[in-house]
């Protein structure tokens, strides 16, 4: 077994998986924008995306044939996890995609590591030092550069809609802190993911039906249906890649996906929608990437690399 320290380079396979994870997840913002372009409501879209995710994961869980993990504490954990990690951020993402460029949403999501670190400080689970405090400051400056200048966003009114992706950032940061503190041990990751998406589906369904947001996908599939399937595939695959990479290489190496997600999200937006960004957005992107690099934890511990 190859062991790696902070000075040992991870195996090229893991770099390839990290690149794949970042590029595919970065595409999700553009796929979401495609899905909302036909006028379907976010609640209905989130219902179908989460149901597709359930169907993809269910086969893996059923194949294991072991349901001993299905206990009350696990159910309680997954219920809260689904609200923070899937239900609320998914609805906010679909709402944001109707109003904002995909690249701007990707830029905002890159703030998640910075917001997670800030939350850890408030909860006294971590402490600030000079380097990481500078990272927090750069993240705040990036948000100001996106919102404040009149020429930063395509429409001046878009600044108000930035509250949506920033809400997603807070949800994901809370999810990370909650998962780190409360995740049950000994439960297969696919089982936790299955419950998370089941709860998301069940939570969104009555609101979608009650608000007349529910719709039946067309057949043969059109661009909305293919985009929804793409979102589900990307999200499920990215969760599995993330869990695998954390187990094999540790959280520090895996956290570098934030850079790839941001750059890929901006690139996919330019490719899908010919998005062009102002100098303020590009400057904010640089500040975010530098800020994320500063708030990443250092590690001297040994980590598993490749069997």
pLDDT digits (tens, 9 = 90+) for 152-167: 676 666 778 888 988 9
CA atoms within 13 A on the CB side of 85: 24
For 180-193, the pLDDT digits (tens) are: 788 888 888 888 88
Average pLDDT over residues 248-277: 78
Q: Does the reported pTM lie above 0.85?
A: no
Q: Burial level of 18, CB count in 10 A (0-12/13-18/19+)?
A: buried
Average pLDDT, the chain: 81
The pLDDT value given to residue 130: 79
pLDDT band at 172 (very low <50, low <70, confident <90, very high): confident
Longest CA pairwise span in the chain (Å): 57
The pLDDT value given to residue 286: 87
**Do the Cβ atoms of 96 and 161 come closer than 8 Å?**
yes
């Amino acid at each position: 077994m190859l062991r790696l320290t902070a000075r040992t380079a991870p195996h090229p396979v893991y770099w390839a998986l990290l690149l794949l994870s970042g590029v595919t997840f970065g595409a999700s913002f553009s796929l979401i924008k495609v899905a909302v372009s036909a006028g379907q409501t976010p609640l209905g879209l989130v219902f179908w995306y989460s149901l597709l995710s359930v169907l993809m994961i269910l086969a893996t869980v059923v194949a294991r044939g072991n349901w001993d993990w299905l206990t009350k504490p696990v159910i309680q954990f997954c219920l809260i996890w689904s609200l923070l990690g899937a239900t609320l951020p998914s609805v906010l993402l679909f709402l944001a995609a109707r109003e904002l460029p995909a690249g701007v949403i990707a830029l905002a999501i890159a703030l998640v590591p910075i917001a997670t670190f800030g939350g850890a400080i408030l909860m006294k689970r971590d402490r600030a030092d000079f380097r990481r405090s500078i990272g927090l400051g750069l993240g705040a400056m990036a948000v100001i550069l996106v919102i404040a200048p009149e020429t930063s966003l395509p429409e001046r009114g878009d600044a108000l809609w930035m509250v949506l992706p920033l809400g997603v950032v807070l949800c994901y940061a809370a999810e990370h802190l909650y998962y780190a503190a409360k995740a049950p041990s000994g439960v297969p990751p696919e089982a936790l993911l299955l419950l998370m998406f089941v709860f998301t589906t069940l939570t969104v369904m009555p609101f979608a039906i009650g608000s007349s947001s529910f719709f039946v996908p067309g057949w043969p599939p059109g661009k909305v249906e293919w985009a929804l399937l793409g979102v589900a595939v990307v999200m499920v695959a990215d969760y599995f890649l993330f869990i695998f990479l954390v187990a094999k290489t540790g959280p520090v190496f895996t956290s570098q996906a934030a850079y790839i997600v941001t750059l890929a999200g901006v690139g996919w937006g330019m490719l899908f929608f010919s998005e062009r960004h102002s100098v303020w957005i590009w400057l904010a992107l640089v500040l975010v990437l530098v800020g994320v690099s500063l708030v990443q934890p250092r590690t001297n511990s040994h980590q598993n690399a490749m069997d």
